[in-house]
Structure 1
């Protein structure tokens, strides 16, 4: 082989060494993982000036996971909203008391809000209001969907979600990190 520079496909460069690559960080994926971190901070409503500003000026009374990308928003806000799909793959609301998780509009039972899994007609005939919280369907530490009309696949998704046995608030967790804490590294690795 001649000495000098040789072109190598970027997929080979970013593969792990175990897979025959060079383990060079894919900056596009790393950036997406970092933006998911911003989504985490917003949804978890971390106590920071930036989070309070974003909720007051950009989110207001909308449902974060369902809101449309405004035409007149900043580039940074557009990127955050465009990365919600990546975020929904790695973040979930862990159910504690159920008081802060929206039944329809938060990511807690699957990688998308339940509102996206059923038609508008099914939602309106379900007996579950648009602003209903998960706590309204927990009785004695168990799920109770007996009084609502939902497709069986939605009931099955809900039934699989564990409810905390200790009285604690709901918490946003990373499902790709064993500790449940968000980290850019574990999100990046999950995107590989």
Structure 2
């Protein structure tokens, strides 16, 4: 017998409810938190254990689940999309960000240059678009390589 509706039970405590939560959303949030921790601290005990077992040849954001993967690992992989939606680049020195393969153009959305890269610019990194010994953009190089 239900004496109180679910909508009333899930209201905030300040509104007089018991503050029950949506368990699926709560579980997704916890798994996304574990995924973020693995990305930020791969040298932790959990990171060493899981990443050495499942991510030997690929990184966490691109690896696929083997058929022998544990239920926990499959859950972590399922929550990568939550992390991807909120991720962005801090360009820094730009040595590791590939111009044509990474989303680096916007802080609002995932965006990369559009158009086919030339053969000479296929493997360019962002640092090659900076002025020498500076973090200022070299507009001539940008106009040369990007549409």
Normalised by the size of structure 2, how large is the TM-score?
0.63
- Please give the residue correspondences for 1:22-171 in structure 2 after superposition, counting only pairs within 5 Å: 23-101=19-97, 104=101, 109=106, 122=116, 127-129=121-123, 133-139=125-131, 140-143=134-137, 145-149=142-146
Higher strand share: 1
- Which segments of 5 or more consecutive residues in structure 2 lack a partner in the other structure? none
Q: Is the 8 A contact 2:95 2:127 kept in 1?
A: yes
Q: How many aligned positions are there?
A: 141
Higher-RCO chain (CA-CA 8 Å, sequence separation at least 6):
1
Cα shift at 1:83: 0.3
- Which segments of 5 or more consecutive residues in structure 1 lack a partner in the other structure? 151-192
Kindly report the root-mean-square deviation, in angstroms, between the aligned alpha carbons of the 2 structures.
3.9
Cα shift at 1:24: 2.6
Alpha-carbon distance in 1 for matches of 2:105, 2:66: 25
> In structure 1, the residue corresponding to 2:88 is in which secondary structure?
strand
From the superposition, tell whether residues 24 and 81 of structure 1 become closer, same or farther in structure 2 (CA, over 3 Å).
same
Alpha-carbon distance in 2 for matches of 1:31, 1:107: 30
Q: Which has the larger radius of gyration?
A: 2
Q: Is the 8 A contact 1:99 1:135 kept in 2?
A: yes
Normalised by the size of structure 1, how large is the TM-score?
0.52
Alpha-carbon distance in 2 for matches of 1:46, 1:62: 13
> In structure 2, the residue corresponding to 1:70 is in which secondary structure?
coil
